[in-house]
A = this chain, B = another copy of it.
Amino acid sequence: MENKRNYHTRQQEAVAEYFRLNPDVCATADDIYLYFMREKGKIGKATIYRCLDRMVENGEVKRFLSDGGDGAMYQLIDPANGCDRHFHLKCTSCGRVIHLDCGFMAAFEKHIVGHHGFRVDNTRTIIYGLCETCAAAQ
């Protein structure tokens, strides 16, 4: 079924590169646009959006919406790093993302599915709060 060939382009490669270089960062389409303009030359914004759509569809990148309302954020789903399995904590103050790979989480998910019949999707879920540093700074 669905057999659409996949052409390899300069633009796509650059977007992939951006994520490779910034595996922990939540980037906006604009961040990537600016990266391209700075390092690689000109690009159309629509192209960025289309690349990102493709990557989200392929499960390479996760798309979510920031609290701020400044638009969507994209982040690499690094399977080598277990990003498809673990939770992400995001600090609402400094924006840092913590990858939560921890046995307790498995218990957490098991509890939720067992007691509440709810199957957590951790590729979509982001837990907001304050990281240690920012909490201390307050």
Interface residues in chain A, defined as those with a beta carbon under 8 Å from any beta carbon in chain B: 64-67, 69, 72, 89, 91-92, 98, 100, 102, 104, 108, 111-112, 115-121, 124-132, 135
**Nearest 5 interchain pairs by C-beta:** A117-B132, A65-B65, A124-B128, A120-B129, A121-B129
Q: Are A120 and B127 in contact (CB under 8 A)?
A: yes
Chain B's closest residue to A100 (CB) is B116
Secondary structure call for the A interface: mixed
Task: Check B119–A129 contact: CB distance below 8 A.
Answer: yes
Q: Which residues of B contact A117 (CB under 8 A)?
A: 131-132, 135
Q: A65-B67, A67-B124 are in contact. Are A111 and B104 (CB under 8 A)?
A: yes
Determine which of B92, B104, B120 lies in contact with A115 in the assembled complex, contact meaning CB atoms within 8 Å: B104
15 further A-B contacts with Cβ under 8 Å, apart from A67-B124, A104-B115, are: A64-B67, A65-B65, A65-B66, A65-B67, A89-B120, A91-B118, A102-B116, A108-B108, A117-B131, A117-B132, A117-B135, A119-B129, A125-B128, A125-B129, A127-B127
